[in-house]
Chains A and B, each alone.
Chain A
Amino acid sequence: MTIKEVQEALGARFVSGEQWADREVHMACGSDMMSDVLAFVKDRAVLLTGLCNPQVIRTAEMMDVVAIVFVRSKKPDEQMIELAEEREIPLICTGHRMFSACGILYEKGLRGGADYERLH
């Protein structure tokens, strides 16, 4: 799946970085806690989040995240857009809530990537 296909599936819009829309996405991660995002290694992941501050961009940078989707119509500010452009990370904005946005992408075949721990 490409970043463009993620954006289309969510009926979302690019805030910035549309020029990198053809890049491949291999998996997805949805979280508002950045330390949880940092806890598991990801491969070409798209990050879905309801959190909207510069540390979202930094976390994405450290994890080599390929694109960030802001759910619930959260709007990144100029500072965030600038940080993301320097790092070539497209920012996407969707009106969907987290659960629905994740569900839509799961239905399109995107997975979480990590093996889950079965709790007894």
Chain B
Amino acid sequence: MSDSIKMTYTVSDTDFTRAGEASSDVKKRLRQMGCDPEVIRKVAIAMYEGEINMVIHANGGEIEVEITPEDITMVLKDKGPGIPDIEKAMQAGYSTAPENVRALGFGAGMGLPNMKKYSDEMNIETTVGVGTTVTMKVHQ
């Protein structure tokens, strides 16, 4: 018997109003499973910021979530422009988001720093012009 649950979500390309639906669903499921509220919150925030990033920068993409008794792994894949300078992108306050995104309450340069802050492990694989895959793990 496997104790692992896997889910896949498609993040819509530019429909900003729907961004967050996947994170919302994961949060609901973790709550139903009786996970620790602190773990749920970390997963929800980290994934939500990632989802927003995918809509802002990469025309959407796909998120795979795997839940095991040990941890929750989120893999966010996009075919966006890639990140030319990860070190810079990780700096709090550094943003390349367009002005219209700022008007929506995002693009303050806190996305990646927040994702790192709330996940226990984070790995970014990115190639300019090809896409980005962010893997985040939160321990149960």
Contacts and interface: CB of A to CB of B under 8 A. Distances in A.
A88 interface: no
Interface residues of A, number: 21
Interface residues of B, number: 25
B58 interface: no
Interface in A43-97: 49, 51, 53-56, 58-59, 61-64, 79
B17 A54 contact: yes
B110 A36 contact: yes
A61 B48 CA distance: 10
B78 interface: no
Interface string B104-130: 111111110110010000000000000
Interface stretch (A8-16, A18-26, A27-35): A27-35
Contacts of B16: 53, 55
Interface of B: 16-17, 19-20, 23-24, 27, 37, 41, 44-45, 48-49, 52, 104-111, 113-114, 117
Interface of A: 32-36, 38-39, 41, 49, 51, 53-56, 58-59, 61-64, 79
